[in-house]
Amino acid sequence: MIDLPLKKGERDAAAVTRVSGSRLPGSVMAPAQAAPSPRPKPSPPPATNLRPAKGRFEPANFSSGRGREPGRRRGRVMRRAETMVHQVLYRALVSTKWLAESVRAGKLGPGLRVLDASWYSPGTREARKEYLERHVPGASFFDIEECRNAASPYEMMLPSEAHFADYVGRLGISNQTHVVVYDGDNLGCFYAPRVWWMFRVFGHRTVSVLNGGFRNWLKEGHPVTSEPSRPEPAVFKATLDRSLLKTYEQVLENLESKRFQLVDSRSQGRYLGTEPEPDAVGLDPGHIRGSVNMPFMDFLTEDGFEKSPEELRAMFEAKKVNLTQPLIATCRKGVTACHIALAAYLCGKPDVAVYDGSWSEWFRRAPPETRVSQWKREKA
What is the spatial distance between Cα 350 and Cα 379, in angstroms, rounded to a whole number?
41
Give the CATH number of domain 93-220; options: 3.40.250.10, 2.160.10.10, 3.40.50.880, 1.10.10.10: 3.40.250.10
Q: Which of 147, 189, 331, 338 is catalytic?
A: 331
Average pLDDT of the segment spanning 48-59: 32
What tens digit of pLDDT does each residue of 3-35 get? 344 433 333 333 333 333 333 333 433 333 333
In angstroms, the CA 313 to CA 226 distance is 39
> What is residue 11's predicted lDDT score, i.e. its pLDDT?
38
Query: With contact defined as beta carbons under 8 Å apart, do 17 and 85 qualify?
Result: no
On whether the CB atoms of residues 225 and 293 are closer than 8 A, the answer is no
Q: Which of 181, 103, 111 is nearest to 140 (CA)?
A: 181
Which pLDDT tens digit goes with each residue over 224-261?
A: 999 989 999 999 999 999 999 999 999 999 999 999 99
Examine domains 93-220 and 245-372 and report if their fold is the same. Answer: yes
Element (H, E) at 342: helix 337-346
Contact 273, 378 (CB under 8 A): yes
Q: Would you say domain 245-372 falls under CATH 3.10.290.10?
A: no
Model confidence at 75, pLDDT cuts 50, 70, 90, reads low
DSSP for 168-225, please give it: HHHTT--TT-EEEEE---TTS-SSHHHHHHHHHHTT---EEEETTHHHHHHHTT---B
Average pLDDT, integer, range 189-205: 97
Residue 201: φ, ψ to 5°:
-70, -20
**52 band by pLDDT with thresholds 50, 70 and 90:** very low
d(CA 123, CA 102): 35
Which range has the top average pLDDT, 8-22, 59-73, 194-208?
194-208
Q: At residue 216, does pLDDT exceed 90?
A: yes
Q: pTM above the 0.85 mark?
A: no
Write down the pLDDT at residue 232.
96
Write the CB contacts of 231 (distance below 8 Å, at least 6 apart in sequence): 113, 140, 171, 172
Sequence-ordered strand ranges (E) for 43-157: 49-53, 56-60, 93-94, 112-116, 140-141
Over the stretch 101-138, which tens digit does the pLDDT of each residue have? 999 999 999 999 999 999 998 889 999 999 999 999 99
Of residues 207 and 376, more confidence is placed in 207
347: annotated active-site residue: no
Domain ranges of the chain: 93-220, 245-372
